[in-house]
Homo-oligomer: A and B are copies of this chain.
Amino acid sequence: MALYVYKFGGTSVGTVERIKAVADKVKRAHEAGDQLVVVVSAMSGETNRLIGLAKQMQVQPTERELDVLVSTGEQVTIALLCMALHDLGCNAVSYTGSQVRILTDSSFSKARIREIDDAKIRADLADGKVVVVAGFQGVDQDGNITTLGRGGSDTTGVALAAALKADECHIYTDVDGVYTTDPRVVPKARRLDKITFEEMLEMASLGSKVLQIRSVEFAGKYNVALRVLSSFAEGNGTLITYEDSNMEKALISGIAFNRDEAKLTLSGVPDLPGVASKILGPVAAENIEVDMIVQNVGANGTTDFTFTVNRNDYLRASNVLEGLRDQLGAQVVSGDDSIVKVSIVGVGMRSHAGIASTMFKVLADEGINIQMISTSEIKISVVIAEKYLELAVRALHTAFGLDQA
Protein backbone atom coordinates (compact mmCIF):
# COMPACT_ATOMS: atom_id res chain seq x y z
CA MET A 1 0.00 0.00 0.00
CA ALA A 2 1.56 3.25 -1.15
CA LEU A 3 1.00 6.70 0.36
CA TYR A 4 0.67 9.56 -2.11
CA VAL A 5 0.14 13.27 -1.77
CA TYR A 6 -1.83 14.67 -4.71
CA LYS A 7 -1.84 18.40 -5.34
CA PHE A 8 -4.38 20.04 -7.65
CA GLY A 9 -3.96 23.69 -8.65
CA GLY A 10 -6.61 26.33 -9.23
CA THR A 11 -7.25 25.44 -12.87
CA SER A 12 -7.76 21.77 -11.96
CA VAL A 13 -10.49 22.73 -9.44
CA GLY A 14 -11.73 25.80 -11.34
CA THR A 15 -15.34 24.66 -11.85
CA VAL A 16 -17.90 22.37 -10.25
CA GLU A 17 -17.31 19.88 -13.08
CA ARG A 18 -13.55 19.90 -12.63
CA ILE A 19 -13.82 19.34 -8.87
CA LYS A 20 -16.02 16.34 -9.68
CA ALA A 21 -13.40 15.08 -12.15
CA VAL A 22 -10.72 15.40 -9.45
CA ALA A 23 -12.98 13.50 -7.03
CA ASP A 24 -13.35 10.77 -9.61
CA LYS A 25 -9.58 10.48 -10.11
CA VAL A 26 -8.99 10.43 -6.34
CA LYS A 27 -11.70 7.86 -5.75
CA ARG A 28 -10.23 5.49 -8.35
CA ALA A 29 -6.74 5.69 -6.83
CA HIS A 30 -8.21 5.19 -3.35
CA GLU A 31 -10.15 2.15 -4.49
CA ALA A 32 -7.00 0.76 -6.05
CA GLY A 33 -5.64 0.63 -2.51
CA ASP A 34 -3.50 3.76 -2.20
CA GLN A 35 -3.50 6.02 0.86
CA LEU A 36 -4.16 9.55 -0.32
CA VAL A 37 -3.68 13.06 1.00
CA VAL A 38 -5.07 15.64 -1.43
CA VAL A 39 -3.94 19.26 -1.38
CA VAL A 40 -6.03 21.79 -3.29
CA SER A 41 -5.75 25.44 -4.25
CA ALA A 42 -8.55 27.98 -4.48
CA MET A 43 -10.81 27.71 -7.53
CA SER A 44 -9.10 29.68 -10.31
CA GLY A 45 -10.04 33.35 -10.20
CA GLU A 46 -11.18 33.22 -6.57
CA THR A 47 -7.95 34.52 -5.04
CA ASN A 48 -7.92 37.43 -7.47
CA ARG A 49 -11.59 38.17 -6.73
CA LEU A 50 -10.83 38.32 -2.99
CA ILE A 51 -7.76 40.50 -3.48
CA GLY A 52 -9.93 42.79 -5.63
CA LEU A 53 -12.40 43.19 -2.74
CA ALA A 54 -9.52 43.85 -0.34
CA LYS A 55 -8.09 46.61 -2.53
CA GLN A 56 -11.46 48.32 -2.52
CA MET A 57 -11.18 48.50 1.25
CA GLN A 58 -7.55 49.55 1.54
CA VAL A 59 -5.01 50.45 -1.13
CA GLN A 60 -2.42 48.37 0.72
CA PRO A 61 -4.49 45.80 2.59
CA THR A 62 -3.18 44.85 6.04
CA GLU A 63 -1.29 41.60 5.50
CA ARG A 64 -2.72 39.76 8.51
CA GLU A 65 -6.28 40.47 7.34
CA LEU A 66 -5.42 39.69 3.72
CA ASP A 67 -4.36 36.21 4.83
CA VAL A 68 -7.64 35.78 6.77
CA LEU A 69 -9.42 36.78 3.56
CA VAL A 70 -7.64 34.83 0.84
CA SER A 71 -7.32 31.64 2.91
CA THR A 72 -11.09 31.25 2.50
CA GLY A 73 -10.45 30.35 -1.14
CA GLU A 74 -8.87 26.97 -0.37
CA GLN A 75 -11.28 26.39 2.49
CA VAL A 76 -14.14 26.49 -0.03
CA THR A 77 -12.38 23.98 -2.28
CA ILE A 78 -11.60 21.42 0.44
CA ALA A 79 -15.23 21.35 1.51
CA LEU A 80 -16.56 21.05 -2.05
CA LEU A 81 -14.08 18.30 -2.92
CA CYS A 82 -15.03 16.30 0.18
CA MET A 83 -18.70 16.63 -0.72
CA ALA A 84 -17.94 15.40 -4.25
CA LEU A 85 -16.01 12.45 -2.80
CA HIS A 86 -18.82 11.63 -0.39
CA ASP A 87 -21.24 11.75 -3.30
CA LEU A 88 -19.12 9.02 -4.94
CA GLY A 89 -19.22 6.99 -1.73
CA CYS A 90 -15.59 7.75 -0.91
CA ASN A 91 -14.83 8.45 2.75
CA ALA A 92 -12.99 11.78 3.07
CA VAL A 93 -12.40 14.57 5.55
CA SER A 94 -11.17 18.14 5.06
CA TYR A 95 -8.69 20.22 7.06
CA THR A 96 -7.67 23.85 6.81
CA GLY A 97 -3.99 24.63 7.34
CA SER A 98 -4.80 25.68 10.86
CA GLN A 99 -6.69 22.46 11.60
CA VAL A 100 -3.90 20.15 10.42
CA ARG A 101 -1.92 22.07 11.94
CA ILE A 102 0.67 23.45 9.56
CA LEU A 103 2.71 25.66 11.84
CA THR A 104 4.44 28.59 10.12
CA ASP A 105 6.32 31.69 11.13
CA SER A 106 4.37 34.94 11.31
CA SER A 107 5.42 36.45 7.97
CA PHE A 108 1.93 37.12 6.67
CA SER A 109 1.50 36.55 2.91
CA LYS A 110 4.88 34.81 2.62
CA ALA A 111 5.09 32.55 5.65
CA ARG A 112 7.51 29.63 5.89
CA ILE A 113 6.46 26.25 7.23
CA ARG A 114 8.12 25.32 10.54
CA GLU A 115 6.41 22.10 11.48
CA ILE A 116 3.53 19.88 10.47
CA ASP A 117 1.52 17.90 13.00
CA ASP A 118 0.73 14.65 11.17
CA ALA A 119 -1.27 12.98 13.99
CA LYS A 120 -4.78 13.66 12.65
CA ILE A 121 -3.83 12.82 9.08
CA ARG A 122 -2.19 9.53 10.05
CA ALA A 123 -5.21 8.55 12.14
CA ASP A 124 -7.59 9.33 9.28
CA LEU A 125 -5.46 7.43 6.75
CA ALA A 126 -5.35 4.44 9.08
CA ASP A 127 -9.13 4.78 9.24
CA GLY A 128 -9.38 4.40 5.46
CA LYS A 129 -10.17 8.05 4.78
CA VAL A 130 -8.94 10.32 2.02
CA VAL A 131 -7.57 13.45 3.71
CA VAL A 132 -8.17 16.75 1.89
CA VAL A 133 -5.95 19.65 2.99
CA ALA A 134 -6.15 23.33 2.07
CA GLY A 135 -2.99 24.37 0.26
CA PHE A 136 -1.18 27.68 0.58
CA GLN A 137 -2.07 28.29 4.22
CA GLY A 138 -0.96 27.66 7.76
CA VAL A 139 -1.17 29.11 11.23
CA ASP A 140 1.42 30.82 13.41
CA GLN A 141 2.08 29.99 17.04
CA ASP A 142 -0.43 32.62 18.18
CA GLY A 143 -3.22 31.09 16.11
CA ASN A 144 -3.11 33.72 13.35
CA ILE A 145 -3.91 32.48 9.84
CA THR A 146 -0.94 32.77 7.49
CA THR A 147 -0.42 32.12 3.79
CA LEU A 148 2.67 30.85 2.03
CA GLY A 149 2.48 33.25 -0.90
CA ARG A 150 1.45 32.60 -4.49
CA GLY A 151 2.10 29.06 -5.66
CA GLY A 152 2.31 28.00 -2.04
CA SER A 153 -0.01 25.04 -2.57
CA ASP A 154 2.87 23.16 -4.23
CA THR A 155 4.92 23.80 -1.11
CA THR A 156 2.08 22.52 1.10
CA GLY A 157 1.98 19.32 -0.97
CA VAL A 158 5.72 18.75 -0.78
CA ALA A 159 5.88 19.59 2.94
CA LEU A 160 3.06 17.15 3.71
CA ALA A 161 4.75 14.48 1.59
CA ALA A 162 7.97 15.04 3.55
CA ALA A 163 6.22 14.98 6.95
CA LEU A 164 4.28 11.83 6.05
CA LYS A 165 7.23 10.20 4.25
CA ALA A 166 4.93 9.72 1.26
CA ASP A 167 6.08 7.56 -1.62
CA GLU A 168 5.50 10.35 -4.13
CA CYS A 169 4.03 13.83 -4.31
CA HIS A 170 1.93 14.23 -7.47
CA ILE A 171 1.58 17.75 -8.78
CA TYR A 172 -1.45 17.79 -11.12
CA THR A 173 -1.37 20.66 -13.55
CA ASP A 174 -2.46 21.56 -17.08
CA VAL A 175 0.61 20.03 -18.74
CA ASP A 176 1.30 16.32 -18.80
CA GLY A 177 4.93 16.52 -17.67
CA VAL A 178 8.26 18.22 -18.16
CA TYR A 179 9.43 18.43 -21.77
CA THR A 180 12.88 18.51 -23.30
CA THR A 181 11.96 22.00 -24.45
CA ASP A 182 8.88 24.08 -25.25
CA PRO A 183 6.78 22.00 -27.71
CA ARG A 184 5.45 25.22 -29.24
CA VAL A 185 8.99 25.97 -30.47
CA VAL A 186 10.13 22.44 -31.17
CA PRO A 187 7.28 20.16 -32.27
CA LYS A 188 9.56 17.17 -31.75
CA ALA A 189 9.98 18.00 -28.05
CA ARG A 190 9.68 14.91 -25.89
CA ARG A 191 8.16 14.41 -22.45
CA LEU A 192 10.83 13.28 -19.98
CA ASP A 193 10.05 10.26 -17.82
CA LYS A 194 12.53 11.42 -15.21
CA ILE A 195 14.56 14.50 -14.42
CA THR A 196 16.76 15.36 -11.43
CA PHE A 197 15.94 18.10 -8.94
CA GLU A 198 18.99 20.05 -10.06
CA GLU A 199 18.00 19.88 -13.69
CA MET A 200 14.46 20.85 -12.84
CA LEU A 201 15.71 23.87 -10.91
CA GLU A 202 17.78 24.97 -13.88
CA MET A 203 14.87 24.38 -16.24
CA ALA A 204 12.42 26.17 -13.95
CA SER A 205 14.57 29.20 -13.31
CA LEU A 206 15.15 29.44 -17.05
CA GLY A 207 11.48 29.82 -17.76
CA SER A 208 9.74 26.45 -17.57
CA LYS A 209 6.74 27.38 -15.50
CA VAL A 210 5.60 23.91 -14.55
CA LEU A 211 6.54 24.05 -10.88
CA GLN A 212 7.29 26.66 -8.28
CA ILE A 213 11.05 26.77 -7.71
CA ARG A 214 10.55 26.84 -3.96
CA SER A 215 8.66 23.56 -3.92
CA VAL A 216 11.35 21.88 -6.06
CA GLU A 217 14.06 23.10 -3.68
CA PHE A 218 11.99 21.88 -0.77
CA ALA A 219 11.41 18.49 -2.42
CA GLY A 220 15.11 18.15 -3.10
CA LYS A 221 16.04 19.07 0.45
CA TYR A 222 13.68 16.51 1.98
CA ASN A 223 14.13 13.94 -0.79
CA VAL A 224 10.45 13.90 -1.78
CA ALA A 225 9.91 12.30 -5.17
CA LEU A 226 7.82 14.77 -7.18
CA ARG A 227 5.74 13.76 -10.17
CA VAL A 228 4.23 16.29 -12.56
CA LEU A 229 1.08 15.03 -14.29
CA SER A 230 -1.92 16.35 -16.18
CA SER A 231 -5.23 16.74 -14.33
CA PHE A 232 -7.08 16.34 -17.56
CA ALA A 233 -5.35 13.39 -19.25
CA GLU A 234 -4.03 9.99 -18.29
CA GLY A 235 -0.30 9.29 -18.26
CA ASN A 236 2.66 8.92 -15.94
CA GLY A 237 3.98 12.46 -16.23
CA THR A 238 7.55 13.25 -15.27
CA LEU A 239 9.21 12.07 -12.07
CA ILE A 240 11.56 14.55 -10.45
CA THR A 241 14.00 12.77 -8.18
CA TYR A 242 17.66 12.32 -7.28
CA GLU A 243 20.04 10.97 -9.88
CA ASP A 244 20.02 7.21 -9.76
CA SER A 245 21.50 4.35 -11.70
CA ASN A 246 18.31 3.88 -13.69
CA MET A 247 18.39 7.44 -14.94
CA GLU A 248 18.26 7.86 -18.69
CA LYS A 249 21.80 8.15 -19.87
CA ALA A 250 21.21 11.29 -21.87
CA LEU A 251 23.97 13.88 -21.75
CA ILE A 252 21.46 16.69 -21.95
CA SER A 253 17.97 16.51 -20.47
CA GLY A 254 16.50 19.64 -21.90
CA ILE A 255 16.88 22.93 -23.61
CA ALA A 256 15.55 25.98 -21.85
CA PHE A 257 15.28 29.50 -23.17
CA ASN A 258 14.22 32.90 -22.02
CA ARG A 259 12.91 35.62 -24.28
CA ASP A 260 12.62 38.22 -21.54
CA GLU A 261 16.26 39.26 -21.52
CA ALA A 262 18.12 42.41 -22.44
CA LYS A 263 21.86 43.07 -22.18
CA LEU A 264 23.85 46.12 -21.21
CA THR A 265 27.55 46.83 -21.64
CA LEU A 266 29.85 49.40 -20.12
CA SER A 267 33.04 49.46 -22.24
CA GLY A 268 36.48 50.85 -21.57
CA VAL A 269 36.19 50.92 -17.82
CA PRO A 270 39.58 51.35 -16.10
CA ASP A 271 40.29 47.86 -14.76
CA LEU A 272 40.59 48.48 -11.03
CA PRO A 273 39.59 46.30 -8.09
CA GLY A 274 35.94 46.76 -7.08
CA VAL A 275 34.71 47.87 -10.48
CA ALA A 276 32.03 45.13 -10.63
CA SER A 277 30.48 46.14 -7.33
CA LYS A 278 30.63 49.82 -8.29
CA ILE A 279 28.52 48.97 -11.35
CA LEU A 280 26.15 46.38 -9.86
CA GLY A 281 25.65 48.13 -6.53
CA PRO A 282 23.64 51.02 -8.00
CA VAL A 283 21.74 48.59 -10.27
CA ALA A 284 20.72 46.46 -7.29
CA ALA A 285 19.80 49.62 -5.38
CA GLU A 286 17.18 50.23 -8.07
CA ASN A 287 15.71 46.76 -7.40
CA ILE A 288 16.79 45.53 -10.82
CA GLU A 289 17.68 41.84 -10.86
CA VAL A 290 20.75 40.92 -12.83
CA ASP A 291 21.01 37.51 -14.52
CA MET A 292 24.20 36.75 -16.49
CA ILE A 293 27.39 38.71 -15.87
CA VAL A 294 30.49 38.66 -18.08
CA GLN A 295 33.64 40.69 -17.63
CA ASN A 296 36.47 40.67 -20.14
CA VAL A 297 39.84 42.26 -20.23
CA GLY A 298 39.91 45.02 -22.84
CA ALA A 299 42.70 47.09 -24.35
CA ASN A 300 45.01 49.47 -22.44
CA GLY A 301 44.21 48.34 -18.90
CA THR A 302 40.48 48.75 -19.39
CA THR A 303 37.72 46.21 -19.13
CA ASP A 304 34.34 45.58 -20.78
CA PHE A 305 31.53 44.72 -18.39
CA THR A 306 28.29 43.14 -19.70
CA PHE A 307 25.23 41.86 -17.88
CA THR A 308 21.64 40.90 -18.66
CA VAL A 309 18.44 42.04 -16.98
CA ASN A 310 14.75 41.42 -17.50
CA ARG A 311 13.62 43.23 -20.62
CA ASN A 312 11.13 45.28 -18.54
CA ASP A 313 14.05 46.75 -16.58
CA TYR A 314 16.14 47.60 -19.64
CA LEU A 315 15.45 51.34 -19.74
CA ARG A 316 15.87 51.83 -16.01
CA ALA A 317 19.16 49.90 -16.07
CA SER A 318 20.41 51.99 -19.02
CA ASN A 319 19.73 55.15 -17.06
CA VAL A 320 21.69 53.82 -14.09
CA LEU A 321 24.68 53.08 -16.36
CA GLU A 322 24.54 56.49 -18.03
CA GLY A 323 24.72 58.00 -14.57
CA LEU A 324 27.76 55.88 -13.77
CA ARG A 325 29.76 56.38 -16.98
CA ASP A 326 31.62 59.57 -16.06
CA GLN A 327 32.00 58.52 -12.45
CA LEU A 328 33.79 55.31 -13.51
CA GLY A 329 35.72 56.85 -16.39
CA ALA A 330 34.03 54.46 -18.82
CA GLN A 331 33.93 55.15 -22.53
CA VAL A 332 30.70 53.73 -23.90
CA VAL A 333 27.36 52.46 -22.61
CA SER A 334 25.66 50.14 -25.08
CA GLY A 335 22.80 47.70 -24.93
CA ASP A 336 20.47 45.42 -26.80
CA ASP A 337 16.95 44.43 -25.82
CA SER A 338 16.38 41.97 -28.64
CA ILE A 339 18.48 39.14 -27.31
CA VAL A 340 17.51 35.78 -25.82
CA LYS A 341 19.20 33.26 -23.58
CA VAL A 342 19.37 29.61 -24.63
CA SER A 343 20.59 26.96 -22.19
CA ILE A 344 21.33 23.28 -22.35
CA VAL A 345 20.76 21.49 -19.05
CA GLY A 346 21.80 18.02 -17.96
CA VAL A 347 23.51 16.19 -15.15
CA GLY A 348 25.23 14.13 -17.85
CA MET A 349 27.56 16.97 -18.72
CA ARG A 350 29.32 16.57 -15.37
CA SER A 351 31.04 13.43 -16.59
CA HIS A 352 31.38 14.24 -20.26
CA ALA A 353 33.84 16.62 -21.76
CA GLY A 354 33.12 18.31 -25.04
CA ILE A 355 29.49 19.24 -24.43
CA ALA A 356 30.27 22.95 -24.60
CA SER A 357 32.26 22.67 -27.81
CA THR A 358 29.47 20.61 -29.41
CA MET A 359 26.98 23.33 -28.48
CA PHE A 360 29.14 26.11 -29.89
CA LYS A 361 29.82 24.16 -33.10
CA VAL A 362 26.11 23.50 -33.67
CA LEU A 363 25.38 27.22 -33.35
CA ALA A 364 28.32 28.18 -35.54
CA ASP A 365 27.19 25.74 -38.25
CA GLU A 366 23.86 27.58 -38.31
CA GLY A 367 25.64 30.93 -38.58
CA ILE A 368 24.49 32.06 -35.14
CA ASN A 369 26.83 34.45 -33.34
CA ILE A 370 27.25 33.88 -29.59
CA GLN A 371 27.26 37.15 -27.65
CA MET A 372 27.74 35.89 -24.11
CA ILE A 373 28.49 32.57 -22.46
CA SER A 374 27.88 31.47 -18.91
CA THR A 375 28.29 28.00 -17.44
CA SER A 376 27.43 26.08 -14.32
CA GLU A 377 28.08 22.48 -13.41
CA ILE A 378 24.98 21.16 -15.22
CA LYS A 379 24.10 24.04 -17.55
CA ILE A 380 25.58 26.08 -20.37
CA SER A 381 23.82 29.29 -21.34
CA VAL A 382 24.47 31.50 -24.34
CA VAL A 383 23.03 34.84 -25.35
CA ILE A 384 22.14 35.20 -29.02
CA ALA A 385 20.07 37.54 -31.17
CA GLU A 386 16.35 36.99 -30.66
CA LYS A 387 15.75 36.23 -34.33
CA TYR A 388 17.81 33.03 -34.05
CA LEU A 389 15.89 31.60 -31.06
CA GLU A 390 13.84 28.92 -32.84
CA LEU A 391 16.69 27.95 -35.15
CA ALA A 392 19.10 27.54 -32.23
CA VAL A 393 16.75 25.58 -30.00
CA ARG A 394 15.74 23.19 -32.80
CA ALA A 395 19.33 22.61 -33.95
CA LEU A 396 20.49 21.90 -30.38
CA HIS A 397 17.46 19.67 -29.72
CA THR A 398 18.40 17.52 -32.69
CA ALA A 399 22.15 17.60 -32.08
CA PHE A 400 21.82 16.36 -28.50
CA GLY A 401 19.52 13.51 -29.48
CA LEU A 402 16.37 14.87 -27.85
CA ASP A 403 14.03 14.63 -30.86
CA GLN A 404 11.11 12.28 -30.57
CA ALA A 405 11.64 8.92 -32.23
Q: Cβ of B96 and Cβ of A83 under 8 Å apart?
A: no
Q: Cβ of B83 and Cβ of A75 under 8 Å apart?
A: no
Contact with B along A57-71 (1 / 0, CB 8 A): 111011011101101
Q: Determine the chain B residues whose CB is within 8 A of the CB of A250 once the complex forms.
A: none
Q: Cβ of A83 and Cβ of B62 under 8 Å apart?
A: yes
Closest to A17 in B: B56
Q: Does A72 contact B (CB under 8 A)?
A: yes
Q: Does A25 contact B (CB under 8 A)?
A: no
State A61–B66 Cα separation when bound (angstroms): 29
Q: Does A54 contact B (CB under 8 A)?
A: yes
Q: Cβ of A76 and Cβ of B86 under 8 Å apart?
A: no
Q: Cβ of B68 and Cβ of A75 under 8 Å apart?
A: yes
State A71–B96 Cα separation when bound (angstroms): 12
State A19–B65 Cα separation when bound (angstroms): 15
Given contacts A19-B57, A57-B19, whether A76 and B87 have CB atoms under 8 Å apart is no
Q: Cβ of A16 and Cβ of B87 under 8 Å apart?
A: no
Q: Determine the chain B residues whose CB is within 8 A of the CB of A98 once the complex forms.
A: 98
Question: Which of A19, A57, A82 counts the most chain B CB atoms within 10 A?
Answer: A57
Q: Cβ of A80 and Cβ of B54 under 8 Å apart?
A: yes
Q: Does A79 contact B (CB under 8 A)?
A: yes
Q: Determine the chain B residues whose CB is within 8 A of the CB of A87 once the complex forms.
A: 57-59
Q: Does A53 contact B (CB under 8 A)?
A: yes
Q: Does A288 contact B (CB under 8 A)?
A: no
Query: What is the interface residue range for chain A against chain B?
Result: 35 or more
Q: Does A78 contact B (CB under 8 A)?
A: yes
Q: Does A143 contact B (CB under 8 A)?
A: yes
Q: Cβ of B76 and Cβ of A75 under 8 Å apart?
A: no
Minimum Cβ distance to chain B for residue A164 (Å): 19
From the candidates B61, B80, B84, B86, name the one contacting A83 in the complex (CB within 8 A). Answer: B61
Q: Does A343 contact B (CB under 8 A)?
A: no
Q: Determine the chain B residues whose CB is within 8 A of the CB of A143 once the complex forms.
A: 99
Q: Cβ of B65 and Cβ of A76 under 8 Å apart?
A: no
Question: Which of A50, A68, A71 counts the most chain B CB atoms within 10 A?
Answer: A68
Q: Does A7 contact B (CB under 8 A)?
A: no
Q: Does A180 contact B (CB under 8 A)?
A: no
State A68–B84 Cα separation when bound (angstroms): 14
Q: Determine the chain B residues whose CB is within 8 A of the CB of A76 once the complex forms.
A: 50, 53, 69, 72
Q: Cβ of A16 and Cβ of B53 under 8 Å apart?
A: yes
Minimum Cβ distance to chain B for residue A319 (Å): 33
Q: Determine the chain B residues whose CB is within 8 A of the CB of A83 once the complex forms.
A: 54, 57-58, 61-62, 65-66, 69
State A352–B227 Cα separation when bound (angstroms): 81
Q: List 12 A-B contacts (CB under 8 A).
A: A57-B80, A58-B83, A58-B87, A62-B86, A64-B93, A65-B94, A66-B79, A68-B96, A69-B76, A72-B75, A98-B98, A99-B145
